[in-house]
Amino acid sequence: MENTLTAGSLLAGIRETRLVAIVRGTDGTAAAKAALAAMEEGFRFVEIALTTPNAFEAISAVRATAPADCFVGAGTVLTAQDVDRVAEAGGQFMVTPSLAESIAESARLGLPVLAGALTPSEAYEAMNRGATAVKLFPASIGGPGYLKALRDPFPGIPFIAVGGVGLREATAYWEAGAIAVGLGGPLFGDAGSGGDLAPMRDRARGFVDLAAEFARRSGAEILR
């Protein structure tokens, strides 16, 4: 179970894979199975939302059986108590939907945190509080164009686009400068609530292949 994750290694891994999976459902056991299935299909970073019943048990189950190069975190982490409970459950990184107190608490404990923000002021404040990266949420409000405009004054802030991002939208966010996209419903569907895992696995492979193709194309363009 020993598989440490620092802010630096999380950031490097997310930059490399360009993908973060987000499980949210009505059944903790199903959410754990869905998270592990995503890892088996190539996702290295998966968060389980704390709004999922028995989320802490699900995080523990995934942490105990995840492949060595895969990491499980918690989403919708709002309070300092949430951070403590996630850490006790074995969660390796935190994700917030907003400028919650959990950002500073995660940073204080040395736990990587992807902090939710939408506006320029929120993004700047998230990094001031110790965020590893900013989760642009909900990204669909402004789309890739908004992300590009947001990055102009903040070229050093790593942004992850989350909210309304599907297979057809992902590439545009990467091209706009997102280091990754966060995928919830467009990836998992109802798998986190006990739905069939087979279609989810197909979608997971599609996202992994798309990210790999984008990386190859980007590398080729740099070499020109």
Sequence-separated (6 or more) residues with CB below 8 Å from residue 101? 78, 79, 80
* 38 within a domain of the structure (yes/no): yes
* Angle in degrees, CA 52, 53, 57, rounded to 5: 100
- Selected catalytic residue, list 33, 47, 169, 175: 47
148 given a catalytic annotation: no
The structure's pTM equals 0.95
Please list the residues that pair with 22 across neighbouring strands. Answer: 47
47 given a catalytic annotation: yes
With beta carbons less than 8 A apart as the criterion, state whether 34 and 192 touch: yes
* 198 within a domain of the structure (yes/no): yes
* 112 within a domain of the structure (yes/no): yes
Nearest to 176 by CA among 18, 16, 12, 70: 18
- Selected catalytic residue, list 33, 41, 105, 135: 135
- CATH code for position 170: 3.20.20.70
In tens, the pLDDT along 63-72 reads 999 999 999 9
Range of the domain at 52: 7-223
Confidence of residue 80 (pLDDT cuts 50, 70, 90): very high
pLDDT at position 194 over 90: yes
Average pLDDT over the chain, rounded to whole?
Answer: 96
How many structural domains compose the chain? 1
Rounded percentage of the chain residues whose pLDDT exceeds 70:
96
* 2 within a domain of the structure (yes/no): no
